[in-house]
Amino acid sequence: MIPGSTEQEDNRTMTTDHEPATVAGTDPVDAATEAPTSAPEFDERPFLEASSEARSRYGRFNLAVIGATGVGKSSLVNAVFGRDLAKVGKGLPVSKGAHYYNDDSLGIWDLEGFELGSKSPREHLRENLALISNRPPIEQISVVWYCVNSHADRLQQSEIDVIQELDAAGLPVVLVLTKVDWTKHPITGTRTVSADLQGFCEWLDDPLDQNEMPITIPFHRYLLTSTRDRNGKGSGHGLGELVAETLTLSPEDGKDAFRIAQRLNLPWKREMARGVVTAASTASAGAAAVPLLIADAAILAPIQLGMMGRIATIYDLELKTMLSAGALAQICVQLAGKALASSFLKLIPGAGNVINAGVAAALTAAMGEGWIRLCEQVHTGKLDLDKVNQSWGDYVPGFLDVFRKMAEQRIAKP
């Protein structure tokens, strides 16, 4: 039996919105709200090198999507990854029935057409898997989504053969039932499905052949999904579970690539990004172990710019191509090194012109949090890149942001 599902439960792994905010009663630092009359000299190499290194280290997540034409594969990929299956990036037919689409963080193997030709679906799939096994390591499949229209009453033998062949190749399979029509209780929010689909799910729990004999269908789990509601609107249902199950089945060295490629679970990205911020804060503290004069605070810039480049990669943003060089330079120069430090120390009476390890670490940590918020807004489409320069002041750390980070560091000390 399929247990009832509530909208609240399904949204636990879905996008959590964070609007840009500043602490009440504080203003962003002066350097962020007042654009310089002439752009200071800017070395973008730490940003670009860190971004490139991160993309290389995280790699690419490769997903195979299998299912008949019209089953909803493209809608599913677009809902989870924010990419149209046919527009993921470079897409060329590798062989009849096998197409590979890819960009930096995501590769999609679209395996289709098994119902065509004189060969059996199992033989056709076996040939394609052999072809894929000879492709470069960065193109190898991590997880398979086998998509079936939820309005079917059971799997055909040819479909069972394909799933068994995938399992024999060592590939984990999620059976994705698509285009589910949910009925939502108006008070409790519990979602139910039709009696026919309920019967299909009961058969999947204990599959029998035509002679009522048990059969083995080696998928790891079946999931009910929809990318739209009954009226063709909304963000669908069951996708959070699909994302969580895909991560569970991913190889350890591919989990971060999947976290980056998917677009439904922002907390995963935040967790990765905050690890980068912590490392950069520690490095900044080390750089200022001997207190720095403001004039020497530029030594922090490569650390901070590297942090920004890595975080941009985690949010799957190629800012170098999305922004003009001048716009990127203006944003970064307002943040990194002595510009931010100088602006911050102006707000502290009697602070002088020296930055110690605690201040350097707190500045970097607060700046990292602001950059995470900005990247999230761009990543989710809530902030237009054309307006970044005008709204950047909403994301630059203010005095209380930095002061709070300093307090957190003191509390964390043994």
Q: Is residue 6 part of a domain?
A: no
Q: Please name every residue paired with 184 in a beta bridge, in sequence order, or none if there are none.
A: 191
Q: Is residue 18 part of a domain?
A: no
For the stretch 273-329, pLDDT in tens is: 999 999 999 999 998 888 776 666 678 888 988 998 999 999 998 776 666 556 666
Do 228 and 311 lie in one domain? The reply is: no
Domain final position from 211, 229, 260: 260
Do 256 and 299 lie in one domain? The reply is: no
Q: Is residue 269 part of a domain?
A: yes
Does residue 249 contact residue 143 with C-beta atoms inside 8 Å?
yes
For the stretch 4-19, pLDDT in tens is: 444 434 443 444 444 4
Do 217 and 335 lie in one domain? The reply is: no
Do 46 and 76 lie in one domain? The reply is: no
Here the tokens at position 280 are 């950069």
Per-residue confidence (pLDDT) for residue 264, from 0 to 100: 92
Q: Is residue 338 part of a domain?
A: yes
Do 115 and 216 lie in one domain? The reply is: yes
Euclidean distance between CA atoms 292 and 77, whole angstroms: 50
Per-residue confidence (pLDDT) for residue 70, from 0 to 100: 84
Per-residue confidence (pLDDT) for residue 320, from 0 to 100: 64
Do 210 and 73 lie in one domain? The reply is: yes
Per-residue confidence (pLDDT) for residue 201, from 0 to 100: 96
Domain range for 318: 30-55+265-412
Q: Is residue 24 part of a domain?
A: no
Sign of CA dihedral 31, 34, 40, 46: positive
Do 306 and 340 lie in one domain? The reply is: yes
Give me the residues of the chain with pLDDT under 70, please.
1-43, 85-97, 113-118, 229-235, 293-297, 320-354, 388-393, 396-400, 402-403, 410-414
Q: Is residue 387 part of a domain?
A: yes
For the stretch 380-410, pLDDT in tens is: 888 877 776 666 667 766 656 766 777 777 6
Per-residue 3-state assignment (H helix, E strand, C coil) for the chain: CCCCEEHHHHHHHCCCCCCCCCCCCCCECHHHHCCCCCCCCCCCHHHHHHHHHHHHHHCCEEEEEECCCCCCHHHHHHHHHCCCHHHCCEEEEEECCEEEEECCCEEEEEECCCCCCCCCHHHHHHHHHHHHHCCCHHHCCCEEEEEEECCCCCCCHHHHHHHHHHHHCCCCEEEEEECCCCEECCCCCEEECCHHHHHHHHHHHCCECCCCCECCCCCCEEEECECCCCCCCCCCECHHHHHHHHHHHCCHHHHHHHHHHCCCCHHHHHHHHHHHHHHHHHHHHHHCCCCEEHHHHHHHHHHHHHHHHHHHHHCCCCHHHHCCHHHHHHHHHHHCCHHHHHHHHHCCCCCCCEECHHHHHHHHHHHHHHHHHHHHHHHCCCCCHHHHHHHHHHCCCEHHHHHHHHHHHHHHCC
Euclidean distance between CA atoms 309 and 319, whole angstroms: 9
Do 158 and 226 lie in one domain? The reply is: yes
Q: Is residue 11 part of a domain?
A: no
Do 238 and 381 lie in one domain? The reply is: no
Q: Is residue 193 part of a domain?
A: yes
Per-residue confidence (pLDDT) for residue 350, from 0 to 100: 47
Do 115 and 190 lie in one domain? The reply is: yes
| Structural domain total, the chain | 2
Do 248 and 332 lie in one domain? The reply is: no
Domain final position from 225, 260, 295: 260
Do 342 and 384 lie in one domain? The reply is: yes
- Closest C-alpha to 138, from 99, 94, 105: 105
CATH number at residue 130: 3.40.50.300
Per-residue confidence (pLDDT) for residue 339, from 0 to 100: 56
Domain final position from 209, 235, 260: 260
Q: Is 24 exposed, middle or buried (0-12, 13-18, 19+ CB in 10 A)?
A: exposed
pTM of this structure: 0.80
